[in-house]
Structure 1
Amino acid sequence: MSKAKNVLFIMADQLRWDYLSCYGATHIDTPNLDWLASQGMRFNKTYVQSPICGPSRMSFYTGRYTRSHGATWNGFPLRVGEPTLGDHLREAGAKCALVGKTHMLPDAEGMKRLGITPESTIGALVAQCGFEEYVRDDGENHTDCPMRRGEDYDRYLRENGMDGDNPWEEWANTAIGPDGEMCSGWMLENSGLPARVPKEHSESAWLTTRGIDFIEEQGDQPWLCHLSYIKPHWPYLAPAPYNDMYGPSDLPPVNRSDAERQTDHPLMQAWMDMRVNQTFSGEELRNIVAPVYMGLIKELDDQMGRLFAYLRDTGRMDDTMIVFCSDHGDNMGDHWMGEKDLFFDCSARIPLIVYDPRSEADATRGTSTDALVEAIDLTPTFLEFMGGEAKPHIIEGRSLSTLLHDTGDDWRTYAVSEYDYSTRAARKPLGLDQGDARLTMIFDGRWKYIHVEKMRPLLFDLQSDPDELVDLGNDPAHADQIERLAALHFDWARKHHTRITRSAGFIDMMSNKGEPPGVYIGVRNKEENEAMGRDLPPHVTR
């Protein structure tokens, strides 16, 4: 292609894969994302590297597993020096910019130790996870959490007549009750009320506009724009008419069983006893919240329609790869749970749609694949698209071009996801040390095995039990599958995850050349040294 190659990397927050009609949902219609799927490829089995915002995003932004980059929980900074997508793309001559959320906190201690100030050019990139900040909006109460950014949206609301000490809280996250009272969007029973902010000024609408603004300002330099939406993440509050567009009768049946509630697994017992899961176990609140969750998804799809129309009208479809995904899902009452967490498909499996403008992708347009894809596959996909050099010693994912261009069948046989629950309340009643509060999922396309440190594993057969309602982890009849999958876990854990400063080619060169110049180990005499093609130091003769 003669034109610049650009990437529009769109991410929704907490969006379930099965709440899009292109993935078979019948309770909601998402025509604009369906259209994108018709122009590209839909990936049916995509798993995040951790089912929680921060560590999931850090894996997206580095192409590395959570055990490799170390930012295993929300608010755990990505350490200084960890290579990011932005670092790799700048080497390839492309700009890498942020419009929206990253959930990134800078490694302030590491920056201070190295003498890097946030105001410096390098410090600004380190503090923003490698992105050049165009707009930063984390969708949180930044008055109480000053490290979470949102001043750009606050300024926009004030410019449009919506003032206050914290406009995000007072307009986007507040509703007016039936008697004129101010109702907080944090309170789930208020979720069905319309947000004070009009739909044309909602966060989703504003971020779409800012994404378009960014694209319009770009010249000839290739760019990646990470357009990262806040919704449909909580607070579950939507502007009219999306707040009451759906009702309880529109909801899919909740996916859970009485047998799950009676589990003998101590971790699952403790997990279902946490407050958020107790809350979403009741039908009453689910019937209030889930329809609004659907309304937020519908609003997002409408904004995608506006964005895609702009890309078509301006010819950007010809030179821009478009990727749509989410950072994880939402349990929404399934398995007696709320929030995200754990490795059920409603949480750890995500939608992924990729439109590749290159002619090599024409044969796969409008198709789908069941290949096991991981979130870390996007970084090498973008780097390859931009013409950058592959870095398998750093980036642990694989470029999706093989699947997009249908050029081979050598693909991974299992996907991995990890979870550090040391900060979760469920750890305390179990008496677990924080170092043991960790889980690892190994999924081979049928069997989902979950290693639980200090406890027995969990096991689900998604062929006979696609709803993941029957834990087979304590069934002796499946001991062979547990042994096989545990071996895959051990195989993955033994791989190099932190040897990133030397490429495979460099290591091959070292092994071929032997010791470095001036070092002679185990050499018998001058003749043997010469036979090896090496010279003695000039001041000696033998």
Structure 2
Amino acid sequence: MIATRPNRNVLLIYTDQWRYDALGCAGHPVVQTPNLDALAVRGTRFSHCFVQHPLCMPSRYSMLSGRYPSSLGVTHMGVPVPEDAEVLSCVLARFGYRTANIGKLHFLPHANRDHREAHPAYGFEHAEISDEPGVYPDAYRAWVQRHHPDDLEASAQVAHPPAWEAWQRVLGQDDGIRHPENLDPYRTRVYEGSDDSTHSAFVAERSIDYLRRRASDREPFFCISSFYNPHSPLVAPQRFLDLYADRSITPPCFPEAEDAERKARGWDDDYLVQAMRGYYAMISEVDHYVGQIIDALDAGGLSDNTLVIFTSDHGEFLGEHLRWGKGYPAPDCVLRVPCIMAGPGVAPGPSAVDTIIEAVDIFPTITDWLAVPTPPQAEGCSRLSLLQRHPAESDPSESALCEDAEWKHLRTRNHRYLLHRDGSEELYDVNAEHGEYHDISRDPDARETLAAMRHRLALRLLEKERPAPRVWPY
């Protein structure tokens, strides 16, 4: 039975590969994000939000279920999310919410399936899924063909994943979509189509259309507007690249050994700067469309009863640690993400809350804000109290847990600890100069800290246990 329809809404603006520091309101000296900066003033920005896995699929499933990857049995890429998974959309649908996902979802491997076929619902009654822009004959490409047919070729400016090419070859298929070859995903390029035919434009237009319908029928909703940017390859419309044409961009500062290595690889300052420029341009493009979505929310009279959340599934190395993309060993540039929440009852900014929170906390925070019972299997912690008042100081026991089948990771206020399956350990002082580059686990002066981190990790693993309930003592 569906409960009485509530009178509150949730809009989750979800991005891919957005670093925690790449916001104007986070103090970045170059990145231009005026719309997200304004959202942070209207609400609360969490400066220390950490995801539970440094890759897309495990991180997204973890966040939308409020559970840790090991509890879900998904600690690496390529594991399909079960169709009956108890994710947030399923829970809210039972309480009368209209549910939608527009853009990226990435609950399924996307290189070995026909994207024209119906996608599992996962509790979303409205789903326009496009996990990668222009790669497959999916909702985005259909939208381009319908509204911007001259830009079909431009929309396919990204390369096919190798696994997709292998799948087509083995099965003797050809989707007819031609893609560039030998593409350097971190060599910035200009989007060759019209500005309003990009994947980000697609997510915004379809989200705005959805919000207008909800404003008309006043049906309560949970909507995810899921952008692919600023994920590589670095492709952006010229006008967003132009925002950074005259701005001084400083490449990362490396320790001496890493600096010599990156130069030996040919990653000179010019290469790093052009990649950063492309990455920032993609961020500004998303910010532009976030502004349009927020304007539609305001115009429809929905802002007074809608919780808006902005966050990402993980960050981006962007050349740091001599790496690109995301993944192990999961330093802050990858695990730490932006998180802004704004809406009724949320204390306004501009100062940020520096309490350590986790992506699994978003699920119970939403259910708590909506006065919907949080399922007992959820492992995150509601942060509604932090939204309602900014704490005077942080709890020194705060920590964030990240995990893979081969390692466990704990991030505290001052340290980052890694325990591997083979028993080896790593310890980093995140506040020291180049601290995330130097493993101090064998430093005699760090013995007490190492022991304390082991103990804290053990406690975190025990805290997250959710054994199946018994029905009777015998």
| Worse overlay, 402-411 or 21-30 | 402-411
Map of 1:413 onto structure 2: 398
SS of structure 2 residue aligned to 1:398: coil
- Partner deviation per Cα, 1:482-520 (whole Å, 9 max, x = no partner): 1111111122223464525x3xxxx6x95xxx55xxxxx
Conserved in 2, the CA contact under 8 Å of 1:183 and 1:190?
no
Say if 1:278 and 1:337, in contact at 8 Å, map to a contact too: no
Aligned-partner Cα distance in 2 for 1:33–1:233: 18
Distance 1:31 1:208, change over 3 A: same
Q: Which residue among 151, 155, 160 is the counterpart of 2:138?
A: 151
Aligned partner of 1:404 in structure 2 is 387
Question: What's the offset of the Cα at 1:90?
Answer: 2.0
Partner residue of 2:336? 349
Aligned counterpart for 2:205 among listed residues 203, 209, 230: 209
**2 CA distance for matches of 1:84 and 1:190?**
34
What are the within-5 Å matches in structure 2 for residues 229-268 of structure 1?
229-246=227-244, 250-259=248-257
Moved more, 455-464 or 224-233: 455-464
1:225 is matched by which residue type in structure 2? C
Worse-superposed segment, 23-32 or 307-316: 307-316
Distance 1:410 1:83 in 2: 32
Q: In structure 2, what is the Cα distance between the partners aligned to 1:280 and 1:329?
A: 24
Tell me the secondary structure at the aligned position of residue 331 of structure 1: coil
Q: Indicate the residue corresponding to 1:113 in structure 2.
A: none
Match of 2:295 among 309, 315, 324: 309
Matched residues in 1 for 2:385 and 2:311: separation?
Answer: 19
Q: Equivalents in 2 of 1:228, 1:492: separation in Å?
A: 30
SS in 2 for 1:372: strand
Q: 1:161 to 1:374 in 2, by over 3 A?
A: closer
Q: Is the 8 A contact 1:91 1:388 kept in 2?
A: no
Contact 1:69 1:82 in 2 (8 A): no
Residue among 26, 39, 42 paired with 1:39: 42
Alignment gaps of 5+ in structure 2: 111-116, 159-177
Give the partner amino acid of 1:39: R
TM-superposed deviation, 1:193: 3.3
Which position in structure 2 is the counterpart of 1:480?
448
For 2:95 and 2:264, the matched residues in 1 are separated by 49
The equivalent residue for 2:129 is 136
**1:73 Cα offset (Å):** 1.9
| Structure-2 separation of matches of 1:261 and 1:368 | 33
**Match for residue 267 of structure 1?**
none
The match for 1:471 is 439
TM-score (structure 1 length as normaliser)? 0.74
Whether the aligned pair in 2 keeps the contact of 1:189 and 1:288 (CA below 8 Å) is: no
Cα offsets for 1:155-175 (capped at 9, x unmatched)? 2212234358xx3xx312439
Contact kept, 8 Å, 1:47 with 1:348, in 2: the verdict is yes
Q: Give yes or no for the alignment of 1:369 onto 2:338.
A: no
Whether the 8 Å contact between 2:307 and 2:342 is mirrored in structure 1 is yes
Other-structure match for 1:458: 426
The residue that corresponds to 1:13 in the other structure is: 16
Give CA deviations for 1:441-475 in whole Å, capped at 9, x if unaligned. Answer: 11121111111222532211223347523321221
**Pairwise CA distance, 1:244:** 4.6
Query: Does structure 1 conserve the Cα–Cα contact (< 8 Å) formed by 2:134 and 2:155?
Result: no
| Matched AA of 2:224 | H
CA distance in 2, matches of 1:158, 1:36: 33
Question: C-alpha offsets along residues 321-371 of structure 1, whole Å, 9 cap, x if unaligned?
Answer: 00001111110101111111132111100000000213xx34x54331111
Amino acid of the structure 2 residue aligned with 1:458: E
Residue 17 of structure 1: SS of its match in structure 2?
coil
CA distance in 1, matches of 2:387, 2:147: 43
Post-superposition shift, 1:185? Answer: 8.4
- Per the alignment, do residues 194 and 185 of structure 1 end up closer, same or farther by CA in structure 2, a change over 3 Å counting? farther
Per chain length, whose mean CA-contact separation is higher, i.e. which structure has more relative contact order (CA < 8 Å, sep 6+)? 2
Contact (CA 8 Å) 2:211, 2:300: kept in 1 or not? no
AA matched with 2:418: I
Q: In the alignment, what sits opposite 2:163?
A: none
How many angstroms does 1:131 deviate by? Answer: 2.7
Contact 1:46 1:374 (8 Å CA) reproduced: yes
Within-5 A mapping of 1:219-238:
219-238=217-236
The aligned counterpart of 1:187 is: 183
Note the aligned Cα RMSD (angstroms). Answer: 3.1
- Check conservation: 1:281, 1:338, Cα contact below 8 A: no
Matching residue within 269, 276, 281 for 1:290:
276
Cα offsets for 1:367-399 (capped at 9, x unmatched): 3111110000111111122221133x3100111
Write the distance in 1 (CA, Å) between the matches of 2:421 and 2:445. Answer: 22
Matched, 1:340 2:316: no
Paired with 1:385 and 1:413, the residues of 2 have a C-alpha distance of: 22
Q: 1:278 to 1:312 in 2, by over 3 A?
A: farther
Report the CA distance between 1:405 and its aligned residue. 1.4
Task: Give me the whole-angstrom Cα distance separating, in 2, the residues matched to 1:354 and 1:189.
Answer: 32
Q: CA deviation at 1:3?
A: 7.8
Call closer, same or farther: CA 1:6–1:279 in 2, change over 3 Å.
farther
Identity of aligned residues (%): 26
**For the structure 1 residues 189 and 457, does the alpha-carbon distance in structure 2 shift closer, same or farther, using more than 3 Å as the test?**
closer
Could you tell me how far apart the structure 2 residues matched to 1:227 and 1:280 are? 38
Residues 455 and 473 of structure 1, relative CA distance in 2, 3 Å threshold: same
Partners in 2 of 1:366 and 1:398 — Cα distance?
24
- 2: CA distance, partners of 1:410 / 1:18: 20
Q: Pick the structure with greater CA Rg.
A: 1
| Alpha-carbon displacement from aligned partner over 1:106-148 (angstroms, at most 9, x marks no partner) | 89xxxxxxxxxx97xxxx6xx24433343111115644xxxxx
Q: 1:243 to 1:61 in 2, by over 3 A?
A: same
Q: Contact 2:303–2:343 (CA<8 Å) still a contact in 1?
A: no
Unaligned runs of 5+ in 1: 108-117, 144-149, 176-181, 263-271, 421-437, 516-542
Match in the other structure for 2:307: 321
Measured at CA, do residues 329 and 106 of structure 1 come closer, stay the same or move farther in structure 2, by a change above 3 Å? closer
2:353–2:390 contact (8 Å) kept in structure 1: no
Which aligned runs of 4 or more in structure 1 are off by greater than 6 angstroms? 277-280, 407-412
Measured in 2, the distance between the counterparts of 1:402 and 1:439 equals: 32
| Map of 1:521 onto structure 2 | none
**Pairing 1:84-163 to 2, within 5 Å after superposition:** 84-105=87-108, 127-140=120-133, 142-143=135-136, 151-162=138-149
Name the SS of the counterpart of 2:404 in structure 1.
Answer: strand
Q: Name the counterpart of 1:22.
A: 25
Find the counterpart in structure 1 of residue 53 from structure 2: 50
Q: Does 1:72 align with 2:70?
A: no
